[in-house]
């Protein structure tokens, strides 16, 4: 297929494409709807065939409940009925099941009968901040208490002002777990900090988001030719040899995170006055490198990871990098329209439609092999609405802030 665009109207502005995206969002809301509520707390996963998995021993991470709250708020703001109970259930789970009333903070995972993992993870606390910020927009009664609580924990336990980023993880009693520092938790905290700023107007949230971006993108990613480094030592020196959890901390570089940052850095640029030229340069470069190095030119889709020689390392194709690529391409084409950005947007959605949407069983396949066949090594079924839902909805709203903010502004028109 040629990279030249001979027509003029971007897909994101075409009525049929916009209707298609809304229909996909509705399918996701239906698939991950109230049927996934676990009365004991949190939400249940679905298996590959779309059936809800009932397993009292299964662990539910705080990030999963928080993401469900965020996505249910998005639907509620759009005017979709039936999501209020999901928001409340998720918020009650986070506050009453994950929160540590003695030592403070939020446990990483729970089971039906109690905690499954009592560590305090920066990644999880980032999503608690996102859930509280989003829930405040619909007036949930726990939102502002949770927002104040998790903000204090982030500021007093996680934030390292000398570096401008958060530490990674602690035991229940707040004793540190190793020297590891990671970009992934800080990337999602950047997303949450911007949401908290939009919800409250408190500029410290925005200031911290900018400091994280300065460290990870302006300092480290730029030095690596805008290949996004993932893993660092305690003093934030790049650790190229690191290899940890296959889902959250795989070795090498992860093109999907470059795509995610490309959108987030443009969102930060918009919120900070559109006068940080380094942010727009970084967004374009991160996206270009991810498409150039990470896209499988034979089969399509993004390789999960690359090594430091830019060779595919983990060749599985996951759904979330494509989702983040769609959102990034939409943002870039809104602010810097080009044939490359538009063609990339179309290529990504064509691959999602052809290979990842499971029209027989519902939901999206979360993992495919290199040659695009379903497999289940990292993900055993379908657990997460967050990436796919935002991919469907981000292109439908102005690229000037978070999805929740843009929905609210559209409602005022």
CA torsion sign for 245, 28, 283, 227 is positive
Strands 312-314 vs 305-306: parallel, antiparallel or unpaired: antiparallel
Strand 317-318 to 169-170 pairing: unpaired
Q: Which helix (H) or strand (E) holds 114?
A: strand 114-117
- How many of the other CB atoms lie within 10 Å of CB of 70? 28
Give the count of beta carbons closer than 10 Å to the beta carbon of residue 48.
17
Contact 258, 283 (CB under 8 A): no
Report the distance separating Cα 77 and Cα 134, nearest Å: 10
The continuous run of DSSP H or E covering 231 comes out as strand 231-232
- Torsion region of 50: left, alpha or beta (phi above 0 gives left; psi -120 to 50 gives alpha): left
Write the CB contacts of 129 (distance below 8 Å, at least 6 apart in sequence): 147, 150, 151, 154, 189, 192, 193, 195, 196
Q: Which of 70, 257, 341, 365 is catalytic?
A: 257
Query: Out of 89, 188, 220, 387, which one is annotated catalytic?
Result: 387
Q: Using CA atoms, how far apart are residues 2 and 40, in angstroms rounded to an integer?
A: 53
CB burial readout 325-336, b (16+ within 10 A) else e = bbbbbbbbbbbe
Is 257 one of the annotated active-site residues of the chain?
yes
DSSP string, 148-162: HHHHHHIIIIIEETT
Distance in angstroms (rounded) separating the CA atoms of residues 191 and 199? 13
User: 223 with 289: CB under 8 angstroms?
Assistant: no
Q: How many whole angstroms separate alpha carbon 285 and alpha carbon 265? A: 11
Residues designated as active site: 257, 387
């Amino acid at each position: 297929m040629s990279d030249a665009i001979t027509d003029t109207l971007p897909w994101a502005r075409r009525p049929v494409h916009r209707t298609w995206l809304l229909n996909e969002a509705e399918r996701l809301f239906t698939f991950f709807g109230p049927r996934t509520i676990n009365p004991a707390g949190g939400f249940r996963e679905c298996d590959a065939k779309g059936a809800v998995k009932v397993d009292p021993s299964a662990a539910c991470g705080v990030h999963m409940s928080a993401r469900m709250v965020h996505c249910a708020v998005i639907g509620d703001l759009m005017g979709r009925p039936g999501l209020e109970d999901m928001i409340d259930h998720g918020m009650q789970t986070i506050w009453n099941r994950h929160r540590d009333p003695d030592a403070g903070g939020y446990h990483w995972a729970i089971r039906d009968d109690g905690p499954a993992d009592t560590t305090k993870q920066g990644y999880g606390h980032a999503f608690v901040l996102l859930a509280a910020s989003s829930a405040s927009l619909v007036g949930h009664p726990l939102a502002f208490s949770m927002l104040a609580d998790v903000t204090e924990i982030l500021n007093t336990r996680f934030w390292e002002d000398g570096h401008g980023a958060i530490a990674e993880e602690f035991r229940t009693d707040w004793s540190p777990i190793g020297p590891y520092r990671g970009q992934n938790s800080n990337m999602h905290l950047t997303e949450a900090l911007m949401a908290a700023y939009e919800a409250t107007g408190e500029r410290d949230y925005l200031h911290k988001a900018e400091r994280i971006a300065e460290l990870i993108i302006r300092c480290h990613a730029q030095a690596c030719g805008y290949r996004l480094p993932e893993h660092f030592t305690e003093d934030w020196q790049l650790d190229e040899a690191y290899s940890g959890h296959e889902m959250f901390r795989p070795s090498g570089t992860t093109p999907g995170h470059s795509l995610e940052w490309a959108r987030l850095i443009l969102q930060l640029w918009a919120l900070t006055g559109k006068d940080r030229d380094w942010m727009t340069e970084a967004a374009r470069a991160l996206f270009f490198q991810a498409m150039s190095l990470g896209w499988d030119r034979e089969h399509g889709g993004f390789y999960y990871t690359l090594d430091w020689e830019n060779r595919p390392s983990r060749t599985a194709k996951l759904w979330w990098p494509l989702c983040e690529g769609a959102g990034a391409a939409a943002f870039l084409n809104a602010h810097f329209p080009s044939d490359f950005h538009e063609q990339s947007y179309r290529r990504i959605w064509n691959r999602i439609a052809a290979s990842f949407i499971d029209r027989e069983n519902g939901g999206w396949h979360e993992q495919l092999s290199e040659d695009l066949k379903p497999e289940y090594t990292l993900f055993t079924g379908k657990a997460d609405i967050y990436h796919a839902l935002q991919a469907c909805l981000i292109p439908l709203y102005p690229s000037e802030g978070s999805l929740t903010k843009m929905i609210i502004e559209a409602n005022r028109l």
